[in-house]
Structure 1
Amino acid sequence: MEMAEKYPINPTLMMGTVKQVIDDQVTLNLRGRLGLITVPEKLILSDEPIKVGQKLQFYFSYIYVVNDPLDYDFTEIIQQTECFSCLIGGHIIHVDDTAVRVQVTDNLGSIYVPRRWIFTNVSLKEGLHVEFYFSKMIEIAEETNKY
């Protein structure tokens, strides 16, 4: 049985808190100490400037190592006006004993998550191609912002 059949990478609604905003890059601490995600502001649906401490939600899946990456179309995620998941790709730029950092293709950010978020049947190393589901981020309204 192939890994893709055994472990589907279904997107899940995730939440996090803005840790920092530098230039147009926003770094988010994932809820539950699950890692850090840095994205350009264009991937956040908001009419207001993004501020440290804001709570955001978005769709994200486990990350799957692929031998033959697809020609991912990032137009869909960039043009989103709602929060829905798209399959996108990237490559591993750092591996340590506990975590992996992925650079998203087309400079759409980076993801630093525990190794358990990576599905693979090969040893993790820098340069491996990956794919995962991701969406634009949207601010969580204050009344639902209870974590």
Structure 2
Amino acid sequence: METPFVGLKARGNVEDWLGKVEESMVISLRRIMKGALSDYQQRSRTEWVTRHPSQVVLAVSQIMWAKGVHDVLDKVDEYKHKRLDLYLKRCIGDLNDLAVLIRSDLPKVTRLILIALITIDVHARDTLANIAAKKINDW
């Protein structure tokens, strides 16, 4: 991976230099996030989670979960509850896959990423289960 700070010299006003550092960071993060989003759709989630930085994994995972929820809730028809139940089952399956992965021999950093991701995924699962259990129709 190419370092965006190559050629960025600490010269001149500190405000100007730090502004350029910030600009480079934003460009780098945008590129990394786009790559992770693309990769998410091409790999299994358990493989994907081990290939990207932790904050990127957490952010992209939330983006994809929110997209999935919107896909379910945006369609106005009599199958909305069925789609919600299916998406809930998918989320539970994803959680089960992460539970299997975390029991394997992993580097400490990967294990910490998985702990954070599982915590977020449990909350997401509970949110969907709550909506499904209450059969909320006012959406």
Instruction: Give the TM-score band, short-chain normalised.
Output: under 0.3
Structure with the largest fraction of strand: 1
Q: TM-score, with normalisation over the residues of structure 2?
A: 0.24
TM-score by length of 1: 0.23
CA radius of gyration, larger in: 2
**Greater relative contact order (Cα < 8 A, sep 6+):** 1
